[in-house]
Structure 1
């Protein structure tokens, strides 16, 4: 069976009529994007951009947090975009405020993390594509997050391309 690829952003994309709006980071750790797969997934690429060059360092993490979820704005099914085959089946990720979504309002009490990538950044944008057969994996029902920590609020967009 062929693997299926999807892209998600830290915002609602199902009914976009203009550019996707950036989201404010706040001044403490904030989950900008969270995925809860119901099957094992591989991360093919991730990235982020800021509306302006940061005036202080921004820490950006791609992590898993086991089964501890942030409280997020839930994705609608149309927000999980079919990346390479528009005619394929929808993604099997779990949707909901304690599952997959963006812009956390509460972080949850994390007991351990599994860092997949980590950046401390002055730059305005970054993307990382993982080599074939070396993509980090996320187990079914674990949570994948992009978290940002800043001293000064800045607006950011981030995304993950994954394969089921």
Structure 2
């Protein structure tokens, strides 16, 4: 069963919110894998409301340490099957959430994708989507963290990002 998670609270009476990237490296979205399941990535992407003030980079990576984030609630980790069960990837300030305030001391990573951003990007440079072929889908092991990190060094941009994944046993 696939799940989708965004870098903001689930929208109700307003549109999906964008979140500022800041002007230093910042984890925009984090998923903590449970101690009993791995996750397999199906798709991820982002959009920016404005180009950054200087060239930047957006990364999708596995880390060994959690960032301190705004905790997602269960409704923020949406099962794409309306009859499906809840995700085992629970929300928490050092678990699944968004908008990091502390990055943590990461010592080991696996990078699944990295996208360069140009400060002079046109409309096409402000959106990105990647879907993996079935035999090339990355797997994040148990008790690790998957992060979308943004580095926009001089001027912050407002960003929406998401990850579509499935839990595998």
TM-score bracket, normalised by the shorter chain, equals: over 0.9
Contact 1:8/1:160 (8 A) holds in 2: yes
Alignment of 1:33-72 (within 5 A): 33-38=29-34, 39-66=37-64, 68-72=65-69
* 1:163 aligned partner: 166
Aligned equivalent of 2:122: none
Give me the whole-angstrom Cα distance separating, in 1, the residues matched to 2:58 and 2:16: 20
Any idea what SS the aligned residue of 2:75 has?
helix
Q: Indicate whether 1:11 and 2:27 are aligned.
A: no
Instruction: Decide whether the 8 Å contact of 1:57 with 1:121 is kept in 2.
Output: yes
Equivalent residue number for residue 26 of structure 1:
22
The aligned counterpart of 2:109 is 113
Runs (4 or more) in structure 1 with deviation over 3 Å come to: none
TM-score (norm 2): 0.90
CA positional deviation for 1:155: 0.5
Deviation at 1:95, TM superposition (A): 1.8
Q: Give RMSD over aligned pairs.
A: 1.0
CA contact (8 A) 1:48 1:125 kept: yes
Q: 2:93 aligns with which of 93, 97, 120?
A: 97
What is the deviation of 1:56? 2.1
Pairs aligned (count): 158
Deviation at 1:160, TM superposition (A): 0.1
Contact in 1 for aligned 2:74/2:90 (Cα 8 Å): no
Gaps in structure 2 of 5+ consecutive residues: 119-124
The Cα of 1:53 is off from its aligned counterpart by: 3.0
Distance 2:50 2:43 in 1: 22
Partners of 2:57 and 2:26 in 1: CA distance: 10
Whether the aligned pair in 1 keeps the contact of 2:52 and 2:156 (CA below 8 Å) is: no
Worse-matched range after superposition: 49-58 or 37-46: 49-58
**1:112 Cα deviation (Å)?**
1.6
Q: Tell me if structure 2 keeps the 8 A contact 1:29–1:150.
A: yes
* Greater helix proportion: 2
Structure 1: runs of 5+ lacking an equivalent: none
